[in-house]
Structure 1
């Protein structure tokens, strides 16, 4: 018995050493990965829904199975695929809160021309070394990668409760954030937006709370990352959370001066100016009534969550 145990331990050590060997991975030589989808599979109800609801009307495909050839941009973390029972409810929610508000406020032609053509779904979030959680990536206007699908539920899904609304709302914010990047990469926002508070932009945004960022005229701490992110964070929060929420945020800014020298009046003025510039940008750049778009997004969000 002793010799058998030693032999097995020796075998496991060899196997461990072999598994740690660094070799260049060639996807063309990879075998099909069982239970992660492989390269081919029998088309089922999920694929039919995607084809009928996304691909046919909007030329958008949704990928939810493992694909060794898929370029996941800078997603180099340990990630897992989404649960299949989550795919249609989540994509349907995205369609209602993102696609339909834009197509009915602007047009199918506008959306089909500018929208990304691939939605790639990943089950888990990506945790960065800084502690930040990556929930989405827009890749050159052609693809949106959505993470944390397995944490995301909408009303009507089995086991849904009010606490689940956090994750699905983050999903809505993420896709509107990423689409905002696509919009401004096609037509840049006004120079006036860049000039509002450029000296307060910082790559160390993780060191600040949302409350601290608000005192400096940023809608979230992540808005402080870049001016581009400041622009799209304003867009996504105004669309998903609405004007009443925005006014509550302004009212919550305390009197006095922030640690970085911003008075309450300055912070409120900056945020109101950003909102006005976004409304004008949507109208002048895209001929979209932002208030109408916002009303439709908010109505869809409320229906899906409450």
Structure 2
């Protein structure tokens, strides 16, 4: 699962939830609230678009009206449905940045075989007690739960503001992160990847900044969580940020030795080794030229954000 620290948003949501609790809404009654699964509706333009664009060609079902206690897999969080006017623009962006590049590089058979069969769209993030937020979950290769939909606006939306691009970029990172999990759950990456820096992995990754993690040879702090997350964080950030963005990260590593004994040369060597393993994994296991995929994904990201 994907977690990000967003303090200002966290404080805002805490205030909102505190005010909601005063209304005395019983969680047991939530399933009867319109939009949370207690209502029924006649399929409309959104449902027709999903059927024609995702379900018929790729066998991907999308649920945007749901019952938190049955579908959201997170009854410890208070979640809200997505704004319906966001559904088609966001799914169009997902198709452009994730589906189309993979099909162009690997073909429809690859995508149909490995794509998750269910997409759940949730309006809010799920906030953790430690200040982190959950933006996505991949469940057994069949379902992706995509959170924080109401925070995302694409360039084609009437109320789009370039300042909001952080959230849509985080969604792109989340999609590629979760799909990376699906791929390695189907065929595990080489043991060599796990051997690169096992002593530096830590479940206390929230104690580190992304800059500190980079100086130890991790592309983000969350990549320090375990080898699986290290692997897919590399994939998602290399794809979404592109080759130039990855090279800029490498160049930004400061001189010196970290608190955990990593030199700049060692950090760069670890990141280059991870890059090489991922490129070979994509080629040997999936027949995909990673750098061509990277170019396609980055071009789509730029078209959606800038």
Residue matched to 2:238 = 238
Pick closer, same or farther for the CA change 1:50–1:78 going to 2, 3 Å: same
Residue matched to 2:7 = none
Residue matched to 2:56 = 56
Structure showing greater relative contact order (alpha-carbon pairs closer than 8 Å, 6 or more residues apart):
2
Residues 120 and 143, structure 1, Cα contact 8 Å, conserved in 2:
yes
- Find runs of 4+ consecutive structure 1 residues off by over 2 angstroms: 19-22, 30-40, 66-76
Residue matched to 1:33 = 33
Residue matched to 1:290 = 290
Residue matched to 2:137 = 137
Aligned with 1:213: secondary structure?
helix
Residues 138 and 178, structure 2, Cα contact 8 Å, conserved in 1:
yes
Pick closer, same or farther for the CA change 1:195–1:47 going to 2, 3 Å: same
**Within-5 A mapping of 1:291-306:** 291-306=291-306
Q: Deviations over 1:29-75 (max 9, x none)?
A: x8743244535211100000000000000000111012366332346
Cα distance between partner residues in 2 of 1:228 and 1:113: 21
Cα distance between partner residues in 1 of 2:242 and 2:201: 25
Structure number with larger C-alpha Rg: 1
CA shift for structure 1 position 202: 0.2
CA shift for structure 1 position 160: 1.0
Relative to the length of structure 2, the TM-score reads 0.89
CA RMSD between the two structures: 1.9
Pick closer, same or farther for the CA change 1:31–1:263 going to 2, 3 Å: closer
List runs of 5+ in structure 1 lacking aligned partners: 1-15
Q: Deviations over 1:273-294 (max 9, x none)?
A: 1001100000011111111111
Aligned with 1:135: secondary structure?
strand
Cα distance between partner residues in 1 of 2:192 and 2:102: 25
Pick closer, same or farther for the CA change 1:296–1:147 going to 2, 3 Å: same
Between 1:264-273 and 1:75-84, the stretch displaced more is 75-84
Q: Deviations over 1:125-149 (max 9, x none)?
A: 1110111110000011110000000
Aligned with 1:138: secondary structure?
strand
Residue matched to 1:97 = 97
Aligned with 1:70: secondary structure?
helix
Residue matched to 1:70 = 70
Pick closer, same or farther for the CA change 1:161–1:80 going to 2, 3 Å: same
Relative to the length of structure 1, the TM-score reads 0.89
Cα distance between partner residues in 2 of 1:80 and 1:158: 22
List runs of 5+ in structure 2 lacking aligned partners: 1-20
Aligned with 2:160: secondary structure?
coil
